[in-house]
Structure 1
Amino acid sequence: MENENSPIAIFEQFSIEPIHEKYAWRICDFVTVNSKRLQRYFPKTLAQNLTPTLSQIFVEQKVREYQKKEEFLFVLKDTESRKVTGLVYIKELDRDKKQAELAYCIGYDYEGKGITSRVTKILSQYAIQALGLQNLQIIVHKTNLGSVRVAEKCGYIWQKTLLKEHTPPNEDPLDMELYELGA
């Protein structure tokens, strides 16, 4: 596999990089600035990154999971400002089924510009080619139109509605839509 500190890809002014200890402060900044947009669909990531100390613990855990190939967290970094502008997980790995889920979030300042679609295409190819996965999933709520568009633009096909799949904080369980991409 690639050098763990090397970018997976660089495009325009962005780089996609594996999680690394050096990102703890920047992830804390990203999460706190974008807390309202993360609270519904990324409540655990939000809760685990509300302070620099929590972010350091979160990042150390995610680096260990990456090294053990249990879960892969990538940061999207603006190479000009050096800010973390998004996070993408390759998670819920099932090696027997050669399957995983992609989950992504991007900062307010970067939404609606096609960046998340570009990153999702790159990391979908990475998951298939470098990780040997054959089936990738994106799970979104039907009202999250930006995420639905990303899934569709990246070739993911709607499969079914997953009943009561996700429970946001202080809400009833939500039905979620399952999109899949096969290798």
Structure 2
Amino acid sequence: MITWTTNSVHNIRPDEFYNLISRNAEHIEKTFPVTLSGCLTLEKTIDFIALAIASQLRKDTFYYYLRDNETHTLIGYLCIKNINRSLGKCELAYFVDKDFEGRGIITRAVANALSVCFNRLGMNKVYICTSPENSASQRIALKHGFIQEGILRSEFKNGQGGLEDIFYFGLLKSDYTKK
């Protein structure tokens, strides 16, 4: 079993994130096009991380990086984004290194993030948007009690520039606290 820790954006180096993105470019090209395009070079990654730090300082977005305790390399990424404080809702987006899929890492990371969303940020709803083909992410959502609330048609521009439908999963705080 792999052990890992969560680091904030303040505790990672741009070269580490660049390496994670580079290793997983094909794996995430459809689902993380903004991150991928923002990290095509180390120089762009430095700017990407600087923007992430500024966004986190404004409390607009929260970034978490998953680090393998044995190798000390980054193996995943999770962010709490699209925070709407007036509606009390936010979105989770995440991925794990292709070589670490299926080990429960994202399941545990999402559980930790949900606690932050509901208990620290005071959100009433957390949502996850997935590609219709991303059954692994859909399973993560369902495992945590999210309900598929609908399909948003032509809602997401993928890495190739095409518009795709997304599956929208929501979890209310009242359902979260029942678990």
TM-score exceeds 0.5: yes
1:21–1:59 CA contact under 8 A, matched in 2: no
2:172 counterpart residue number: 182
Q: 2:20 aligns with which of 20, 30, 45?
A: 30
1:118 counterpart residue number: 108
Q: 2:53 aligns with which of 63, 86, 91?
A: 63
Change (3 A) 1:156 1:14: same
Identity value in percent: 24
Shift of the alpha carbon at 1:21? 5.9
1:104 counterpart residue number: 94
Shift of the alpha carbon at 1:98? 0.6
Shift of the alpha carbon at 1:22? 3.4
Partners of 2:128 and 2:106 in 1: CA distance:
13
Partners of 1:22 and 1:177 in 2: CA distance:
31
TM-score under structure 2 length normalisation: 0.92
List aligned pairs for 1:28-177, cutoff 5 A. Answer: 28-177=18-167
Partners of 1:21 and 1:12 in 2: CA distance:
21
Partners of 2:113 and 2:44 in 1: CA distance:
27
Runs of at least 4 residues of structure 1 off by over 3 A?
Answer: none
Which structure dedicates a bigger proportion of its chain to helix?
2
Partners of 2:62 and 2:98 in 1: CA distance:
23
TM-score under structure 1 length normalisation: 0.90
SS state at 1:20 partner = helix
2:12 partner letter? K
**CA deviation vs aligned residue, 1:64-101 (integer Å, no higher than 9, x gap):** 11111011111011121111111111001100001000
Partners of 1:137 and 1:68 in 2: CA distance:
21
Partners of 1:172 and 1:44 in 2: CA distance:
14
Partners of 2:134 and 2:15 in 1: CA distance:
28
Partners of 2:2 and 2:29 in 1: CA distance:
29
**Count of residues in Structure 1 that have an aligned counterpart in Structure 2:** 173
Which structure's relative contact order is higher, taking Cα pairs within 8 Å and 6+ residues apart? Answer: 2
2:32–2:159 CA contact under 8 A, matched in 1: no
**CA deviation vs aligned residue, 1:121-168 (integer Å, no higher than 9, x gap):** 110111111111110000001211110111111111110111111121
2:3–2:70 CA contact under 8 A, matched in 1: yes
Partners of 2:69 and 2:46 in 1: CA distance:
22
Partners of 1:95 and 1:140 in 2: CA distance:
22
Q: Structure 1: give runs of 5+ residues left out of the alignment.
A: 1-10
**CA deviation vs aligned residue, 1:17-44 (integer Å, no higher than 9, x gap):** 2112632110000000000011101011
Partners of 1:48 and 1:21 in 2: CA distance:
19
SS state at 1:179 partner = strand
Partners of 2:7 and 2:144 in 1: CA distance:
20
